[in-house]
Chain A
């Protein structure tokens, strides 16, 4: 019985992979050309242009690989241009809101610009290699291209506001782990819908779809 179902699964996988691959290849090479014969969905056929096949077909993803990664919810580990050390900043007594100033007011927490970092690091630890990298960005008039640690795929259509969560008394560590123990921030919580909903249900706040998806 076990072997039988495995065979079916393998066969299905093979079929699916082939179909997906073929259809992807076709789509990938057809941008700007008509490949799909779509019948026009015309509610009220009053225009004088005949409904010929569309020449526009775009995919939701840049590559098939992207589609798969998104489907599985895979996110690669970000590599930061500078190994920012959260722990040491917290140990020195800085609050999260010192740098992430937007978190109490708006949807986004925000990351400060190079200029803001240089207020302190003009002097403090100026000789350390990572700070030298920072100073080099500042000297060139450039911001640091930080990589996002927590994010959602666009197709999940998740929109998140930080400030109401802070006002409700949630600590940053609830979703981001204990940053006092991290150097470079890592994704220490898996922000799945389950994760959000468990809390929303427990706290008896809205679990309406459009509270987060709009």
Chain B
């Protein structure tokens, strides 16, 4: 008897004593007739537009046939349908060139998330208790129309507000038109780590109120002040593509990269020289570089044009910013300042970048204007290897708004909350529509957003997920995921071309959700009157087609003889881009009457004696502002510097930690005048001794199974302090103290090198 036969006999004996299990669940389900036909097992690649941040990268979506459990007419069953299986960059797309970041790759888990809201919900319990009943779409739309129609007909001013994260593409136009049917309806925009300071500075310096595009691939010298441009800031994939080319894409000409920041970011880790400077003094450092360049007659001061004229003392050679004076302020040695300034000029085609924490100060505008002036001094805007601004589409912008319609008022969440809390009946908000913004989680406690929302009688959310804000809604009309929707965007930056990213749904919807634009069109039809006149389209697809087919007459990536042919190719290619710059830049004329900025120091919240540390929250490599904390791939992705997974933490300099008897992984409490937060400590050599840093994004109280109750939210500590020029949150201007309170639950990735190898590698 052979061994195998023996084992078989033995196993049969075993089988006899067990009871047969249940049948396969899948075989008991109904199979619906498929709504689309695909060759089984073969992938088709469909275009898409990434929605994981606002960079507007083009996607190609691998779609394969699979069996999905769906509900049709109240009956659940299986259906063969095209399912997105992998996201990759669109190789033709001028922003991301076929590449995608980690967060973009993880976008699949948005669509397939187990915690998605699958159909409309109506609140049944107390507000915030999280008790909802499932309702049908007809009832949901009717409910919303009932609440909106008195506002549309009676015209009480300011009774409707639309709270949203920055809207992409034509969604913004559609919402603006929708709101134009209501008297004084407000658009409330909320983005936790926004770039409004930089946009304002760029408007003043260059006449472009938008984020800059960097031609890194042709730069010889990059000096960056605080921006995590290779990780999370602006258009990271575009930056990485350019950065790779700058380092090793030009044989014999490797560009140099200098990073100025007080806590080493993923970006800073790649720098040839990493220069820790006092947080909030980056503007002074930039002007010290300019001081050296101008006073050593390397470049003439006048060549900085308007950008230079924004700085007080520029034409006089910046006497207040000598390397010695600035060295004392910034902590960067005068010799280093002088050396780097000379290098920047001699390298040719240098570029300066600013963003992130340096601008999240009370003096953010000063810092941004200072770096802008340095940039112009190094060669100016629109030069190879420098800064430029992406042009808009060559379309007639006057058609964006219906005739006579006023632009809806755009206000910040802070202003909105103040208004609601101070308003007296009957001048209050009656209905608040919420789309994708989560200020209850991400706005500082001092803004009192939660209290304000409690005063709003009726809140409607279009969210995919229950989060801290949509949990307060009375009615939830869940949106499709971005792979199930028509998507369009005109990237603000990341390309020198005029670019339209556009794509039809890559797959049919998995749940009983509806796309926000189509819901608004439906609601406006029900309301009739002004509201429906502003939105004459039957569907969002029709609106997109009407808006973008005129692009056929501009020279670009698509040649077509008819509008239909153009539209067909546009859908297939995932966008349109000009082969050269054709459109007018999205800009406003430079402002003439602006008093040049004087040297300005940051104002810190809290006294240095009681609160000895500067607190630096930063945008998370995994979750950005926390939007992606519900994706398990990203929770289990080690943050590249700390290697932490499923965690949040406080970064402390090892010497500081030793002084305070704090060890790796110890639970520490960070407190400011405004709040406290507890998280385990990570000892990091890449942080200044007087700074504590903490990633944003964790600490959700309500955001699905992977995020809820995990980690801590640094926003609780922040002072409600504003950047003076723009009124946006100065999120890096809070002072804190820290103390060990126990042992923590830090999880570090353990798949790293063995001790033997770690020793060998750290030569």
The chain A residues found within 8 Å of chain B, CB to CB, are 5, 9, 12-14, 16-17, 20-21, 24, 42-49, 62-66, 68-69, 71-72, 101-102, 105-110, 113-115, 138, 141-145, 147, 161
Contacts and interface: CB of A to CB of B under 8 A. Distances in A.
Interface in B33-76: 33-34, 37, 39-42, 72
Given A16-B14, A110-B39, A113-B80, 16 more contacts: A45-B750, A46-B664, A63-B19, A65-B20, A69-B15, A71-B7, A71-B8, A72-B8, A72-B12, A107-B40, A108-B39, A141-B33, A142-B33, A142-B77, A143-B31, A161-B41
A113 B34 contact: yes
A105 B39 CA distance: 8
B15 A68 contact: yes
Given A71-B8, A145-B27, A48 B745 contact: yes
Contact of A44 (B7, B12, B72, B750): B750
Interface in B711-763: 743-748, 750-755
B8 A62 contact: no
B39 A16 contact: no
A63 B80 contact: no
Most chain A CB atoms below 10 A, which of B18, B31, B80:
B18
Most chain A CB atoms below 10 A, which of B27, B40, B750:
B40
Contacts of A9: 1, 6, 9
Given A44-B752, A105-B42, A65 B21 contact: yes
Contacts of B31: 142-145
A106 B42 contact: yes
Contacts of B439: none
Contacts of A21: 14, 17-18
A114 B21 CA distance: 31
A49 B18 contact: no
B592 interface: no
Interface string B330-357: 0000000000000000000000000000
Given A43-B751, A65-B21, A48 B746 contact: yes
A104 to B, nearest CB: 10
A128 B510 CA distance: 37
B34 A72 contact: no
A17 B665 contact: no
Nearest to A16: B10
B34 A143 contact: yes
Contacts of A145: 27, 30-31
B41 A108 contact: yes
Contacts of A64: 14-15, 18
6 contacts: A16-B10, A17-B13, A44-B751, A142-B33, A143-B33, A145-B27
Given A20-B14, A72-B12, A102-B40, A65 B750 contact: no
B19 A47 contact: no
Contact of A17 (B6, B10, B664): B10
A65 B23 CA distance: 12
Interface residues of B, number: 46
A163 to B, nearest CB: 9
B11 interface: yes
B41 A142 contact: no
A145 B27 CA distance: 7
Contact of A107 (B6, B11, B13, B42): B42
Nearest to A43: B750
Contacts of B137: none
B13 A47 contact: no
Contacts of B664: 46, 48
Nearest to A146: B31
Most chain A CB atoms below 10 A, which of B34, B37, B41, B42:
B41
B33 A115 contact: yes
B537 interface: no
A63 B20 CA distance: 7
A26 B41 CA distance: 39
Contacts of A14: 13
A161 B19 CA distance: 36
A65 B21 CA distance: 7
B21 A62 contact: yes
B442 to A, nearest CB: 28
B33 A42 contact: no
A64 B21 CA distance: 8
A153 B27 CA distance: 16
B668 to A, nearest CB: 13
Nearest to B37: A113
8 closest residue pairs by CB, A with B: A48-B665, A63-B21, A106-B42, A107-B41, A108-B41, A143-B31, A108-B40, A68-B15
Most chain A CB atoms below 10 A, which of B10, B19, B27, B665:
B10
A14 B12 CA distance: 11
A47 B747 contact: yes
B41 A102 contact: yes
Nearest to A21: B17
Contacts of A115: 33
Given A43-B754, A47-B747, A142-B33, A63 B18 contact: yes
B626 interface: no
A13 B42 CA distance: 46
Contacts of B17: 17, 21
A151 to B, nearest CB: 12
A13 B7 CA distance: 9
A68 B10 CA distance: 10
Contacts of B611: none
A28 to B, nearest CB: 10
Contacts of A110: 39-41
Nearest to B747: A47
B39 A65 contact: no
B132 interface: no
Nearest to A40: B750
B750 A42 contact: yes
Contacts of A68: 11-12, 14-15, 18
Nearest to B22: A62
A47 B750 contact: yes
B32 interface: yes
A110 B20 CA distance: 30
A106 B41 contact: yes
Most chain B CB atoms below 10 A, which of A14, A24, A106, A115:
A106
A106 B44 CA distance: 12
B15 A65 contact: yes
Contacts of A69: 15
Contacts of A20: 11, 14
Nearest to B24: A62
A26 B20 CA distance: 17
Contacts of A48: 664-665, 680, 743-746
Contacts of B42: 102, 105-107
Contacts of A138: 33
B508 to A, nearest CB: 15
Most chain A CB atoms below 10 A, which of B14, B42, B752, B754:
B14
A143 B40 contact: no
A214 to B, nearest CB: 15
Contact of B32 (A43, A107, A109, A143): A143
Contacts of A143: 31-34, 80
Interface string B126-149: 000000000000000000000000
Contact of B13 (A16, A45, A46, A106): A16
Contacts of A107: 40-42
A14 B27 CA distance: 35
A5 B41 CA distance: 50
A67 to B, nearest CB: 8
B309 to A, nearest CB: 54
Given A42-B750, A72-B8, A145-B27, A17 B14 contact: yes
A12 B744 CA distance: 51
B13 A13 contact: yes
B4 to A, nearest CB: 10
Contacts of B77: 142
Contacts of A49: 745-747
A170 B328 CA distance: 81
A44 B754 contact: yes
